[in-house]
Amino acid sequence: MSTPNTHFGPKRIKDFLNGGRGVYFIGIGGVMMSSLALLTHRMGFEVRGSDRTRTSVTEELEREGISVSYGHNESNIDSFDGCSTVIYTVAISADNPEYKRAGELGIPCVSRADYLGYIMTFYQNRVGIAGMHGKSTVTSMCAEIFMTADTDPTVMSGAEYAPMGGAYRLGKRDKKHFIFEACEYMDSFLDFFPTVAILLNAEMEHVDYFKSMVQIQSSFEKFAAITGEDGCVIANADDEYTLAAAKEAVASGKCGRLIRFSTLDRSAELYADEISVSPCGFPEFTLTAYGKELGRVHLPVTGKHQIYNALASASAALNAGLEPAKIIEGLEKFQGAARRMDYIGKCNGADVYDDYGHHPTEIYSTLEGASHLPKSTDGQRGRLICAFQPHTYSRTAQLFDKFKTAFEPADLIILLDIYSAREVNTYGVSSQKLAKAISESGKSAYYAPSQEDAVKFLKDTLREGDVAVIMGAGDIFHVSRAVTDK
């Protein structure tokens, strides 16, 4: 069972930190936690933390002078003299020994979201990216644009981005631009303090927490309202729920103004016109802002959904006063966030990609984009093959019918066992059942009992000209590496 978010707010967290010079991070190896730990370290605090296993991320923290313990043990808290605050992720359970020990000693425990909200208050222009899909990509896109414009932003993302050297970037010159991924799970983003709220899209997701679209729309409206009377909400005008949430926030007077982006509504403040797909399989469009054509954009990433990501990023950049030429340059330099159609290598002449997609909408959009990749050398279209690891029993069960049709662009589907994450299977759902349901719809779908079986199947099946997308939010990335012998 997850541990709830705290809602202390910046003033109380500042008081906690003033109680000593030590901050402890439970789950310090996480993408966002590691960046917060490093930022806290550079603020002059002694930082320690723990995680289950050693990774390249924890090793980097150790090189920065941060002490990392492997395994969660109450002695890690007992031995940390001067520890004033413990930061944790909601993914830990309430019986985590370090979390429990901190409580016994009276050391305040602050959730990651609450702490991130405190950190960002030091910055002037705070851009929070929310939505069920595309948060990490838009965070990385914004980072690229703002870096291209030489604004020296601080960035906190949920995925690594190569030009930043990781999942975060710490600005050095000033504290003006803070760009961050705003996760909606358990309403974590309501502890943040954006001056600009980007609403990308909304549909049923995190079904272990959200029970209806009414609840989701309400949460997005509250997030937009945090921006305040001088703030701004940037909303996808082609998504009924995000647009409704944004309009309600502005109508209430809690948010200053609305910027809409669209590929369908020419009245939107930002609009993508003359959309096409290049011979390389990449989307192109003409960027129009406030009725004025700014230029042609050639995105270097697959999938028409990336146009929405580009429009959202351009909206935030224009709102910050960046030059249109720099915005287009940044979009065309964008390299893609980690595990978002990452090219891994070859297997039997087939191109192998790794992707984080785990929701039916993400799966379909990613595979539709991959279907436009170039043909094989003999001019014949190779097959599009997808190996997928479902993520959590609740999502797989609640969205089962959507999963059945999500793989439509693929020619062949391999399903691995469901990655349980924080759950137990009380739903009676399985990858075998999903494979059977997909097969009954006329697609070729197979069940792989293990990652080793999936690797063997792919190595035996892939051939010259094929495209393989290895997809999922769990540990399926090991398959893409094994298939390409990396």
For the CA atoms of 459, 462, 467, 468, what is the dihedral angle to 10 degrees?
-30
Angstrom distance (rounded) from CA 270 to CA 399: 32
CATH 3.40.1190.10 domain extents, the chain:
123-333
Region of poorest pLDDT, from 42-46, 148-152, 315-319, 414-418: 42-46
CB 468 within 8 A of CB 388: no
Angstrom distance (rounded) from CA 333 to CA 381: 28
**Using CB atoms within 10 A of its CB, is residue 227 exposed (0-12), middle (13-18) or buried (19+)?**
buried
SS3 category, 364: helix
Q: Which residues pair with 154 in a beta bridge?
A: 178
pLDDT in tens, 392-412: 999 999 999 999 999 999 999
SS3 category, 406: helix
> What pLDDT sits at residue 486?
64
**pLDDT(430) > 90:** yes
Q: What is the mean pLDDT of the chain?
A: 94
> What pLDDT sits at residue 343?
94
Q: Which residues pair with 26 in a beta bridge?
A: 50, 88
Average pLDDT over residues 184-208: 93
Q: Are strands 292-298 and 283-289 parallel, antiparallel or unpaired?
A: antiparallel
pLDDT in tens, 90-141: 888 899 999 999 999 999 999 999 999 999 999 999 999 999 999 999 999 9
Angstrom distance (rounded) from CA 420 to CA 298: 39
Q: Pick one of 3.20.20.70, 3.30.530.20, 3.30.360.10, 3.40.50.720 as the CATH number of 10-117.
A: 3.40.50.720
Angstrom distance (rounded) from CA 248 to CA 252: 6
Q: Which CATH architecture has domain 123-333?
A: 3-Layer(aba) Sandwich (3.40)
> What pLDDT sits at residue 309?
98
CATH 3.90.190.20 domain extents, the chain:
342-483
> What pLDDT sits at residue 192?
95
pTM over 0.85, yes/no: yes
DSSP line for 64-95: TT-EEEES--HHHHHT-TTEEEEEE-TTS-TT
Q: Pick one of 3.40.50.2000, 3.40.50.150, 3.90.190.20, 3.30.70.100 as the CATH number of 342-483.
A: 3.90.190.20
Average pLDDT over residues 176-186: 93
Query: What sign does the CA torsion over 143, 144, 145, 146 have?
Result: positive
CB 415 within 8 A of CB 382: no
**pLDDT(378) > 70:** no
Give residue 173's pLDDT band: very low, low, confident or very high (50, 70, 90): confident
CATH 3.40.50.720 domain extents, the chain:
10-117
Angstrom distance (rounded) from CA 180 to CA 32: 10
> What pLDDT sits at residue 375?
62
Average pLDDT over residues 245-258: 96
Give residue 379's pLDDT band: very low, low, confident or very high (50, 70, 90): low
Angstrom distance (rounded) from CA 196 to CA 208: 28
CB 373 within 8 A of CB 281: yes
Cα 127 to chain centroid, rounded = 15
> What pLDDT sits at residue 175?
87
